[in-house]
Amino acid sequence: MQEFEGSALNVLKMNFTISHKDGDARTCKLVLPRGTLNTPVFMPVGTMGAVKAMSPHELYEIGAEIILCNTYHMYLRPGEGTVAEAGGLHKFINWDLPILTDSGGFQVYSLSPLRKISEEGVTFRSHIDGSTHFIGPRESIEIQRALGSDIVMAFDECTPYPSSYEYTLKSLELTTKWAKTCLKYAEKPQTLFAIIQGGTYKDLRLQSAQQLRELNFEGYAVGGVSVGEPKETMHEIISYMASELPADKPHYLMGVGFPEDILAAVEAGFDMFDCVIPTRTARHGTLLTSNGRVAIRNSQFRHDHTPLDPECGCYTCRNFTRSYLNHLFRAHEILGIRLNTIHNLYFYIDFMKKIRAAIEKDSFISFKRNWLSNYLKIH
Amino acid sequence: MQEFEGSALNVLKMNFTISHKDGDARTCKLVLPRGTLNTPVFMPVGTMGAVKAMSPHELYEIGAEIILCNTYHMYLRPGEGTVAEAGGLHKFINWDLPILTDSGGFQVYSLSPLRKISEEGVTFRSHIDGSTHFIGPRESIEIQRALGSDIVMAFDECTPYPSSYEYTLKSLELTTKWAKTCLKYAEKPQTLFAIIQGGTYKDLRLQSAQQLRELNFEGYAVGGVSVGEPKETMHEIISYMASELPADKPHYLMGVGFPEDILAAVEAGFDMFDCVIPTRTARHGTLLTSNGRVAIRNSQFRHDHTPLDPECGCYTCRNFTRSYLNHLFRAHEILGIRLNTIHNLYFYIDFMKKIRAAIEKDSFISFKRNWLSNYLKIH
């Protein structure tokens, strides 16, 4: 792992280059002071400063290049002040590669029992102890600066699904206004991405993209998807959104998703992904393999003394059998959750590697077709 | 790790040699086909085929030489047949070093909602699904043979505390009778240990020891301690029991205990220990250090950006701070449980190393005094 002192970080900034294009799908290199992302890239989610059940060294081992942490959660507990005291999030959690922090916007809407939006920001109650807090665009950037993440997200309003046209319009304009404030307060070496909103309304999505494009951010995210809308609606947004983003900037599709969603998004030109699916489903005993999903608790695995996926190179598949994973899950052993999580994250990261290789060989579409036909066999 | 084929295991047997004596404290080598135990040794407890929260490779890394698994638990789930199908417990759980299995006796008494003891064995109900089962001495040995552990324990009745003199006498005689049956059914390469019972009655303890000594087992355990009796009573039993066991055989004190108990037992001449304290307390946020116990949840650690124990060489202390451990515990992160468990087990195994070094230098008593004075400072 490279180590950077504060001074070195100050002179380094993001560098983004497209390596290869295959249709709209592309491989890129996003160079950050703490490491390079090879895109399309998957970012494991470390909500509260830990990717659930994983150690940082296990994340290095499976090839994670970046993780995501949630600003809302770190702000409430342990507090960005504690993290800053520790020397920033990287030192606090002992992770040397890049970290992306979200803006806090999504969690304020999804987790807070009370929220009041004004032009300045959002007043909300902590889901932990009910205490009252305020975060606006300036506060979000300041919290993320204290955390010391590598990529920071502009504070947005994530409109719930469904929302009216009028509400969504008003909301995206507030998001644009806040984005301007974020630009003002963000500082190198942190890289600031904007978040496109606009709900399920195509013209509002385009309007949001246009407004934010004009502000010339270093990266663009599409937010407010996978929030309850029908899958077809999400795929429609995916299909037209990437081409509305500046081609020479990274395209990040927030909170998505299942492997089939990622394939669709890569095809449309998205570069970056995060999702809790691999870690959350692992804890519930659902394992992802190239032949589809496996519910490891099922009794059919009790006497199956073969690896979960003989083709897989992860620690779990190299060392343990389906029978043992079935036993650990039924016995509620933490090791079972750990081994499931290692496998699912390795699966996602390996999946992205295969996607990149296919793009480089101009065979992404046939890769996608073959991959899906295997994966959906027993889905 | 050494690998042994069935045929090689058949010709190898336990070899026990005393390396050094310092008073009654002693260092020994217990050579088993799958590995050598340097005693006094601590055996992490892997109740259901996993040391809670740990991977086998983490156990190798902290220097564990042997683990214990519970026959009762493995019998009920996944069943010894499933384990045998997998090629035995070592293959099932992917652990190459020695495994000791207990007899199942203790759990039958402590966990089963119903138990009926006869001369032949015990009829009991599963604590998982209420189904009825029977285990006697022959069944216990057969289950342990199917599991394929390296050291197997004779089936005993663990008398509860308190028990009457009459009941305890009758019970220890049953344990002796069962021990004879176990001797008849046990087979190499497994090494069979007897378990001394006798409750809190010194003459019954001596009687049990005498009866079992005459049967010439390869190792002797003291069971039925740390079952609710006062601490002084336990220490009294510890102090006179080891000298009643054959000097040229390993002495195993079952289910004990806190570091201060282990020191007393080593002084009396015990060689082997197992206990859930390091793993269980870790899950509850209690960390053991050479300066005493630390409740990591306490708010005093929230802003403490130093390692838990700067002198400690474990993964947790080399990589993370008290502040982060405090955060992980408060946030209910599995990583917190993992890091706490790694530290506590490393602490126990390192503690045994220090004990062995002190014995080898004929300085066990002064080591014990100094160690306790540090440890009890903030106990």
For residue range B278-326, what is the model confidence (pLDDT) as tens digits? 999 999 999 999 889 999 999 999 999 999 999 999 999 999 999 999 9
Mean of pLDDT over chain B: 95
Distance between alpha carbon B72 and the CA centroid of its chain, in Å? 15
Helices (H), B159-228: 165-185, 202-213
Q: How confident is the model at residue B114 (pLDDT cuts 50, 70, 90)?
A: confident
Residues A75 and A145 in one domain: yes
Residues B124 and B255 in one domain: yes
Looking at B252, B275, B298, the residue that finishes a domain is B275
Count of C-beta atoms within a 10 Å radius of residue B237: 26
Candidate from A98-107, A238-247, A334-343, B111-120 with smallest mean pLDDT: B111-120
Are the Cβ atoms of A331 and B49 closer than 8 angstroms? yes
Residues B271 and B300 in one domain: no
Q: Is residue A38 part of a domain?
A: yes
Q: Is residue A9 part of a domain?
A: no
Does the structure's ipTM exceed the value 0.90? yes
Q: Which amino acid is at A59?
A: L
Q: Give the mutation candidate from B1, B52, B55, B77 for the A interface (greatest A CB count, under 10 A).
A: B55
Task: Report yes or no: B179 and B197 within 8 Å, Cβ to Cβ.
Answer: no
> Is some CB atom of chain B closer than 8 A to the CB atom of A92?
yes
- Catalytic: which of A102, A150, A271, A350? A102
Half-sphere exposure of B133 (CA within 13 A, CB side): 24
| Cβ contacts from A onto B, under 8 A | 114
Q: Is residue A39 part of a domain?
A: yes
Distance from CA of A324 to the nearest CA of B (A): 6
d(CA A60, CA A68): 14
Are the Cβ atoms of A321 and B93 closer than 8 angstroms? no
Looking at A258, A275, A292, the residue that finishes a domain is A275
Mean of pLDDT over chain A: 95
A102 is catalytic: yes
Distance from CA of A52 to the nearest CA of B (A): 7
Three-state secondary-structure class, residue B275: coil
> Is some CB atom of chain B closer than 8 A to the CB atom of A331?
yes
Residues A115 and A183 in one domain: yes
Q: Considering only CA atoms, which of A344, A110, A128 is closest in space to residue A228?
A: A110
What crossing angle do the helices spanning B322-330 and B334-360 adopt, rounded to 10°?
130
d(CA B27, CA B242): 14
Q: How confident is the model at residue A1 (pLDDT cuts 50, 70, 90)?
A: very low
Q: Is residue B1 part of a domain?
A: no
Nearest CA in chain A to B322: A92
- Catalytic: which of A22, A150, A156, A274? A274
Q: Is residue A1 part of a domain?
A: no
Residues B163 and B115 in one domain: yes
Give the domain extent around B301: 282-375
Are the Cβ atoms of A48 and B333 closer than 8 angstroms? yes
Residues B260 and B351 in one domain: no
pLDDT at residue A12, rounded to an integer:
66
Q: Considering only CA atoms, which of A295, A274, A328, A306 is closest in space to residue A40?
A: A274
Residues B221 and B297 in one domain: no
When CB atoms are compared, the residue of B77, B82, B330 closest to A303 is B82
Are the Cβ atoms of A93 and B324 closer than 8 angstroms? yes
Q: How confident is the model at residue A379 (pLDDT cuts 50, 70, 90)?
A: very low
d(CA A193, CA B149): 57
Q: Considering only CA atoms, which of A126, A198, A185, A189 is closest in space to residue A155?
A: A185
Catalytic residues of B: 102, 274
Is pLDDT of B266 > 70? yes
Distance between alpha carbon A95 and the CA centroid of its chain, in Å? 17
Q: How confident is the model at residue A110 (pLDDT cuts 50, 70, 90)?
A: confident
Q: Residue B131: exposed, middle, or buried by beta-carbon count in 10 A (0-12, 13-18, 19+)?
A: exposed
Distance from CA of B217 to the nearest CA of A (A): 33
Is pLDDT of B378 > 70? no
What is the number of structural domains in chain A?
2
Which CATH number characterizes residue B37's domain?
A: 3.20.20.105
Are the Cβ atoms of B77 and A49 closer than 8 angstroms? no
Is pLDDT of A113 > 90? no
Q: Is residue B101 part of a domain?
A: yes
Q: Is residue B303 part of a domain?
A: yes
Count of C-beta atoms within a 10 Å radius of residue A222: 26
DSSP β-bridge partners for residue A135: A122
Is pLDDT of B3 > 50? no
> Is some CB atom of chain B closer than 8 A to the CB atom of A38?
no
Nearest CA in chain B to A128: B331
Residues B352 and B207 in one domain: no
